[in-house]
Amino acid sequence: MQADDLNAPLGQSRKKHRLPKLPVNAPQMLAGALAMVGVVVVLWAAFVNDPLGGEPIVVVATKSSGGASTEGTGDGKEHARHDGEAANAAIPKAATAAAEKANEPPPGSQTVTIIDGSSGKSKEVVIPGGAGDKPAAAKAPGGDPKLLDVSRHGQIPKIGADGSKPYTVYARPRALPPSLKDLPRIALVIGGLGISASGTADAMAKLPPAVTFALAPYAPDIQKLAERARADDHELLVQAPMEPFDYPDNDPGPQTLLTSVTAEQNVDRLQWLMSRFQGYVGIVSYMGARFTATENALSPVLNETAKRGLIFVDNGSSCRSVASQIAGNQNLPFAKADLILDAVPTATEIDRALNRLEIVAREGGVAVGMATAQPGTIARIAEWAAKIEKRGFVLVPISMVAVKAKSS
């Protein structure tokens, strides 16, 4: 039968050629590819040992060190050559020893293990040695270890096992030539060192070594100040604040010795004062007109001073002081100021006080003057001290005039 080309649509008699059907479609192929990538990654992580995998890597050219040398080869590259034991020997043994020493705990310290109650983790903590540790006491700056005792406040003086006393060990006696031995002796004590920066600097720079320095217990860096003064051959005293008659309107400062507290409390306060620095010969009162006139308050303090091998200097603030009698009963080396040189801090009055001090020395053979570390006072005393020997006197430290007072 022939096709009806006039009535049938064109192309209806042709055979259609269809594309062969794939066994999987496109999404399935993409999922399979991703699965294969995942399998490769898992196998790589399981069998390849590369702890730094994925980290950025930078290649830097460096010079060879002593432990390795470079050697040229025919391929135009340089290869490092390590010499085994020789390379290991290049590590300094001193550095290793220093590192081990740095990891050691300091002497006198304690290592405590702390366990966290929630996690169970333990941690070691190093606690430094306290003031009560003997190694710390032995290394106290400025003092002879044989003459140091331990209190709850720190190191304080004591009489040595061989009987040596701080006031003799730390004394700076002046060797007098025959021409000066028979001259009247004058001792000057300058108090308040460390409070006024300008006054302290002037005292250090202008006053001769025979002048005794009394350091205020509240001064900053007091041990360094004491060491500097001792290096210049000055004898040192600790100023002990004591109760005046108008206390508390006139308050000498923290740790003041008071007539209203117990003897034990006053001794504890005295030990705090003693612990402020080391290398001194004794104690000097600061204010204290009421305290030095009260025997039952002053006696335990002077007993502690004598037990520590020190001298006691009364600043002369009260004519009612009983310090001399108590010192005699306790066999305590003692000195008392005859004059306060700058009670009126003017140049004229200071000069007059120095003249009166000379009269006392000429009449009794010995005189003691007290003053404060203020620039005006230091200037007048420095000028006077430069001419003292021409005036027929000799300037000596406090230890050369302190004597054991007679008991009464």
In DSSP notation, 257-280 reads B-TTS-HHHHHHHHHHHHTT----
User: Distance between CA atoms of 325 and 397, rounded to whole angstroms?
Assistant: 23
Residue indicated by tokens 């002037």: 202
For the cut 50, the answer to whether the pLDDT of residue 286 exceeds it is yes
Q: Inform me whether the pLDDT recorded for 326 exceeds 90.
A: yes
- pTM for the whole structure: 0.66
CATH of 184-404, one of 3.40.50.2020, 3.20.20.370, 3.40.50.300, 3.90.226.10: 3.20.20.370
Tokens of 297: 């308050």
pLDDT of 210-228, one tens digit each?
999 999 999 999 999 999 9
How many angstroms separate the first and last alpha carbons of the chain?
Answer: 167
Is residue 191 within 8 A of residue 372, CB to CB? The reply is yes
Burial class (CB in 10 A: 0-12, 13-18, 19+), 48: exposed
pLDDT confidence tier of residue 185, bands split at 50, 70 and 90: very high
Task: Give CA angle at 361 (355, 363), nearest 5°.
Answer: 105
330-387 per-position pLDDT tens digit: 999 999 999 999 999 999 999 999 999 999 999 999 999 999 999 999 999 999 999 9
Strands 236-242 and 282-287: parallel
| Percent of the chain clearing pLDDT 70 (strictly above) | 68
Per-residue pLDDT band at 32 (split at 50, 70, 90): confident
For 105-130, give one letter per residue: b (16+ CB within 10 A) or e: eeebeeeeeeeeeeeeeeeeeeeebe
d(CA 403, CA 335): 7
| 147 torsion bin: left (phi>0), alpha (psi -120 to 50), beta (else) | alpha
